[in-house]
Structure 1
């Protein structure tokens, strides 16, 4: 299944709402959208790239004058607009738009954010005000490493850890961002039940085409037995955070 089709399917299903998944996380270094709020002033306008179902920005809407959430998936934006209609929020707008073509006036946004979504540094530099901030959290190559090893495949499996981080840092500097700070963490995740882990694998691209290969169920059962601990079924969550000043 092509990546766009995958994201459209998930957007139609739940819009990246994983609130029902029972998972204990130990060792995280930050909460991404709290970091975004920490940079905000009440008069600021925020651009959220890859906004998905919009759940996260709707939660922080009262910290901004206006939030614009964009996503390239039609189904994701449909879900986000439904969530907006069902909320009490009036200062958030959602648009279907690719990150590579930000059709907004130059210097329109005070801040921009992108959580687990690719971005175009040059486009960001155009639409951000001078002195504005861009924050992005991305999945490191070493994320869910024991799962990927068990299945012998996975998102960025086999790539050197830190490759994506260094590439993004270089692109931001080339685009004219004056300062780029980098942070990372490698946290432990414990999924309470096999069903919680299956939900994760079904609704994310961590293991491509999960469930479609004949031995996937047997591999998963073996993984669960090997990694079941008192807190739950263990894997890891490795992330990096970049904070760039325009």
Structure 2
């Protein structure tokens, strides 16, 4: 766990998880998560974003709510997000260092809570939401980047596809949420260049310890040869979204 925390701290300080430089075409994406969050917000609402990373997407919602609070427990992420918030000039966005296990706000403080591809704790999310408040999360499914996992012989998880979704649904139910709905997609992704794909592998834990294990670059060249298309180097992005009401 400490190694993972160090990884996120380092990458957060480097780029805040802003992958806008990566040229990638996606086909089959069924939603934009933060668009879905914005749809649930009223102008008078307080919004909490758990695991906000570099805060770029939270800042894009500044007009959707009265107060937006992004929290993250990685120092590098918080530093980057605070710098982004200061540069934006938006005075209704706050970035705070905070653990999702212990959200330091009063009971029923927020109207909407969101969490994109970060861990959350259902009971704590329920505690800080008002009655009738909405929680949304998007997470990476176990079937994400399956051809990369096969090519390298290792991945972020060994769990069955759908295990994380079912775990979170169970936890949300136990925490008292209702109207729990799930959606998923499995989109094709085409990375324009080898450099774009390598950037992804170097800055995410999709293939653990990429480049540190002997033979990785041989495996990479074989992968590129097999999956290169006219549109780019093909893999997949599998995501699920859960919405729930307190």
Give the structure-2-normalised TM-score: 0.98
TM-superposed CA distance for 1:85, in Å, is 1.3
Per the alignment, residue 176 of structure 1 pairs with 176
Deviations 1:121-177 (A, max 9, x none): 000111000000000000000000000000000111x32100000000000000000
Counterparts of 1:230 and 1:129, CA distance in 2: 50
Query: What secondary structure, in the 3-state scheme, does the structure 1 residue paired with 2:88 have?
Result: coil
Query: What secondary structure, in the 3-state scheme, does the structure 2 residue paired with 1:62 have?
Result: coil
Per the alignment, residue 192 of structure 1 pairs with 192
Kept after mapping to 2: 8 A contact 1:44/1:111:
yes
Kept after mapping to 2: 8 A contact 1:50/1:117:
yes
Counterparts of 2:141 and 2:80, CA distance in 1: 27
> Mapping of 1:1-246 within 5 angstroms?
2-156=3-157, 158-246=158-246
Equivalenced residue count is 245
Counterparts of 2:86 and 2:46, CA distance in 1: 20
Counterparts of 1:179 and 1:123, CA distance in 2: 18
Query: What secondary structure, in the 3-state scheme, does the structure 1 residue paired with 2:242 have?
Result: strand
Kept after mapping to 2: 8 A contact 1:145/1:236:
yes
Kept after mapping to 2: 8 A contact 1:173/1:179:
no
TM-superposed CA distance for 1:89, in Å, is 1.2
Counterparts of 1:18 and 1:120, CA distance in 2: 26
Deviations 1:200-237 (A, max 9, x none): 01111101111101101110010001000111000000
Counterparts of 1:10 and 1:165, CA distance in 2: 26
Counterparts of 2:25 and 2:178, CA distance in 1: 37
Kept after mapping to 2: 8 A contact 1:187/1:237:
yes
TM-superposed CA distance for 1:104, in Å, is 0.4
Deviations 1:27-83 (A, max 9, x none): 001000000000010000100000001000101111110000000001100000111
Counterparts of 2:89 and 2:231, CA distance in 1: 37
Counterparts of 2:179 and 2:71, CA distance in 1: 25
TM-superposed CA distance for 1:88, in Å, is 2.5
List structure 1 runs of 4+ shifted beyond 6 angstroms: none
Counterparts of 1:161 and 1:187, CA distance in 2: 15
Give the structure-1-normalised TM-score: 0.98
Unaligned runs of 5+ in 2: none
